[in-house]
Amino acid sequence: MKIRRILLPLLGLIVALSVGGGIAFWLRPVECAWDLLYLRMALMGIRSRSTVVAGIPIHYDVSGPAGGPAIVLVHGLGGRSEDWVNLAPYLSRAGYRVYMPDLPGYGRSARPASFSYSVPDEANVVVAFMDTMGLKQVDLGGWSMGGWIVEWIASRHSERVKRLLLFDAAGIYVQPAWNTDLFTPQNAAQIDQLDALLMPHPPRVPGFVAADILRISREHAWVIHRALDSMLTGRDATDRILPDLKMPVLIVWGAEDHITPIDQANTIHRLVPQSQLDVIPGCGHLAPSQCASQIGPTVVEFLGR
């Protein structure tokens, strides 16, 4: 009877937690998925940190030995620091100290209403982040819009960048052939259309997950719109500054990228004579995440030269 008196409340608690967890997952599946990812990252040795940069609360993830050479990785439009979770371990295992900040407006960083969310202003925050971390010179990588940001930094602060890594990078002046409104989808069909642009053979998104994605999109759409409105003017395009880069540049691209198609990779490669271009077959715009096993060794080899 004593065991029964102990077990029955315990079983009731387990059932209650299971039901509560199931309801939470049904209502907020994206947040639950992020929580699971945060746990996975902690178990991998990736640490979540926060600081204040230029008056803006900034979240960042960091991994690798404290004394290792620093590499800073900058995510893309609508992205977040955790987007690098599959690639970062290749770098940290090679001895690098990997810094992955959330840009203002994204992830777990603040979203100040007074910030422009333009490429130059985001670039200035990344440089200020490096200053805050005491990083005088780094290997610098960027993905998509993040690639545009690091191109800007490499041009204006070349002494701070040892080597530049561009992953399916934006930046050159070209008007998208796809509907940019898809970055703030309004319905499940638009989520499917965006996924088809981002990756080959996208998985089906369940209805309750799509509903949560749309909720988050509505909350953060103003940041995306402000960033896109600035980028689409072309005033911050990097065509004219890329030929002036002097540091080694690695360009990594998904062969099936429809957001920044492969012809843009070829243009950047042509504009930067000392660059190395690696095209990853079967991968799309999400190559650094979905094809990290193919990309990681190439990046480590490039950085080790």
If DSSP states are collapsed to H, E and C, what string results for 244-294? Answer: HCCCCEEEEEECCCCCCCHHHHHHHHHHCCCEEEEEECCCCCCHHHHCHHH
Predicted pLDDT at 23:
59
Query: What's the N-to-C CA distance of the chain in angstroms?
Result: 70
> Residue 24 has what pLDDT?
54
Query: Read out DSSP for 132-195?
Result: HTT-SSEEEEEETHHHHHHHHHHHH-GGGEEEEEEES---SS---SS-GGGGS--SHHHHHHHH
Please tell me the distance from the alpha carbon of residue 138 to that of residue 13, in angstroms, as a whole number.
Answer: 50
**Which sign, positive or negative, has the C-alpha torsion 221, 200, 85, 228?**
negative
Sequence-distant (6+) residues with CB within 8 A of 228 are: 77, 180, 183
Q: Give residue 161's identity as a one-letter amino acid code.
A: V
Residue 191's identity, in one-letter code, is I
In the chain the domains, ranked by start, together with CATH numbers, are 29-177+237-303 (3.40.50.1820)
Beta-carbon contacts of 66 under 8 Å, excluding residues fewer than 6 positions away, are 97
CA distance 260 to 6: 60
What is the C-alpha to C-alpha distance for residues 75 and 77, in angstroms, rounded to an integer?
A: 7
* C-beta of residue 165 within 8 angstroms of C-beta of residue 141: yes
* Count of CB atoms situated within 10 Å of the CB of 36: 11
Is there a contact between 132 and 59 (Cβ–Cβ < 8 Å)?
no
What per-residue confidence (pLDDT) applies to 28? 75
Supply 99's token pair. Answer: 């810094």
Q: Across the 305 residues of the chain, what is the mean pLDDT of every consecutive 10-residue run?
A: 39 39 64 93 96 97 97 97 98 98 98 98 98 98 98 98 98 94 96 96 93 94 97 96 97 98 98 98 97 98 94
Q: pTM (2 decimals)?
A: 0.91
Selection from 87, 85, 287 nearest residue 200 by Cα: 287
User: Residue 26's pLDDT is what?
Assistant: 53
Bridge partners, 72 (sequence order): 99, 140
What is the pLDDT, as a whole number, of residue 180? 95
Least Cα distance to 63 among 104, 108, 100, 109 occurs for: 100
Specify which residues 70 forms β-bridges with. Answer: 97
Per-residue pLDDT at 25 = 54
Full strand arrangement of the beta sheet holding 97-101: 47-53, 56-63, 97-101, 70-74, 138-143, 161-167, 249-254, 275-280
